[in-house]
Amino acid sequence: MALTVRDLLKREERFSYGHRLCPGCGAALTARLVMLAVNEPVVVSCATGCLEVSTTIFPYTAWRVPWIHNAFENAAATISGVEAAYKALKKKGKIDKDIKFIAFGGDGGTYDIGFQALSGALERGHDFLYICYNNEGYMNTGAQRSGGTPMCADTTTAPAGKVIPGKMQWRKDLTTIVAGHHIPYVAQTTLHNPLDLVNKVRKAIETPGPAFINVLAPCVRFWRVNPADMIKICKLAVDTCFWPVFEIVNDEWKLSYKPKEKKPIEEFLKVQGRFRHLFTPENRHLIDEIQKHVDREWSFVLKMCGETQ
């Protein structure tokens, strides 16, 4: 049964206030909602990144569950090892409770540095949920471009200037790559509808085997937006189809949200400082290229979900 806001209000906060994440941080809201969705005993691993460094400044922690800090690249490897140990101990009768396992990683620690560990854990079939809080860049180390950074975004390692207009490559379609592992549950969402994330987490946790959820979680500093507008930005991401929202259950694709009226990508780009350089006469053609790419990706998702335009 789907969770409601009333259900969530009755639950204890397992990701507490008092952390050092920025106001309006998408990663903070992602972690809070994920932990509200899971009321079973749970062990969490967290890759190095903003979420880790800002929630566990010694001697304090925002996590009210057993929590493990991992290196940038091995959150999935760590949680799969813990899950394997749990299964062995349960088989020997030394543990009798049912425990869930969750790994958190940013897009840098998931799309790039941690992909090998993630792919291996998925292929081996460990029973865990991996959450990618995707702010589209390496925020903890200074807003460098990642495999999840969209084309033409202004980053510190691909700065927009007279020579290049920001990052020159399209972002990696990691959700589809993960789906290629043929695991039981894969989903993509953002924070425009918190209950969509919460109920996808419930489905993932209740599904035996590996699960993966890719959450678009804006970094207000890197995206250069007003913290108060973070949810508005997420809504624009889905209404422009920049970030399609769907789930894949046992290789069957299902669309979770289809805008009544698809907005032009310009609406999403113009409210972010990282794309400000595109709105100059010499760069306007790049917006058209981005629109064509978004349209292609959206058409692919509709086709996979058995939907029409």
Segment 51-61, tens digit of pLDDT: 999 999 999 99
3-class secondary structure, 252: strand
Q: What strands, in cross-sheet order, belong to the sheet with 100-106?
A: 67-70, 42-47, 100-106, 129-134, 211-216, 185-190, 246-249, 252-255
The confidence band for 308, taking pLDDT boundaries of 50, 70 and 90, is confident
Q: Which of 42, 78, 87, 93 is nearest to 206 (CA)?
A: 42
Task: List, in order, residues 6 or more apart from 44 with CB less than 8 Å away.
Answer: 63, 65, 66, 67, 68, 101, 102, 103, 104
pLDDT tens digits, one per residue of 162-181: 999 999 999 999 999 999 99
Q: Please give the share of the chain, as a percent, with pLDDT higher than 70.
A: 100
Whose tokens are 């460990």? That residue is 126
| pLDDT at residue 1 is higher than 80 | no
CATH number of the structural domain 5-304? 3.40.50.970
3-class secondary structure, 70: strand
| Helical pair 26-37 and 194-206, crossing angle rounded to 10 deg | 50
pLDDT tens digits, one per residue of 212-249: 999 999 999 999 999 999 999 999 999 999 999 999 99
- CB-based burial of residue 173 (10 Å sphere; 0-12 exposed, 13-18 middle, 19+ buried)? middle
Which two three-digit tokens encode residue 115? 């992909």
Task: Show me where the domains of the chain are located.
Answer: 5-304
pLDDT tens digits, one per residue of 179-193: 999 999 999 999 999
pLDDT tens digits, one per residue of 34-93: 999 999 999 999 999 999 999 999 999 999 999 999 999 999 999 999 999 999 999 999
